[in-house]
Structure 1
Amino acid sequence: MTRLSGEIVALHGKRAALMGDLARGSKELSASVAGFCSRLAEARCGMAKRTKTERAAFLKNLKSEVNARRREVALDLGEVRRSWSGRSC
């Protein structure tokens, strides 16, 4: 009986140590996940800023190219109209 009582006390001690280890591990894991989430948010914010400037530059270039093509087409149409009407440049 004494031996059984000693084993029970020892198991209670091991259980308490295990619960403490689990609690510490849980806190460490929570801190690690929180750090990861904050780094991920920073990376996402940086990527959003970078892609915004890239999109703006792309659209600016696209608009200038489209306007250049429109001017070319307008000049071509003007030349075609003049040639059909029989007028020279």
Structure 2
Amino acid sequence: MSILSWILFGLIAGAVAKLILPGKDPGGIIVTIGIGIVGGLLGGWLGSSFFGGGGISGFNLASFGWAVLGSLILLLLYRLVFHKSRG
């Protein structure tokens, strides 16, 4: 699967990750979209390199799942690093 496909997956996966983990993120929608794109690339890399051995290809449910997983991981990390404490 090409990098361009993972970027497209990332856009959609970022939106899904935001629906799964709602809340106000520091940075707004642009940062969330960026996290989605990078998360899609991360998910594609994880799935291809470690778990699929290059078996993930095309627009299918497994590929989309990896993109969403990568976006969720990055969104959680982003919130942990840039979370402003309320008090």
Whether TM-score is above 0.5 comes out as: no
Between structures 1 and 2, the one with greater helix share: 1
Higher relative contact order at CA 8 Å, sep ≥6: structure 1 or structure 2?
2
The structure with the larger Rg is 1
State the TM-score, normalizing by the size of structure 2: 0.28
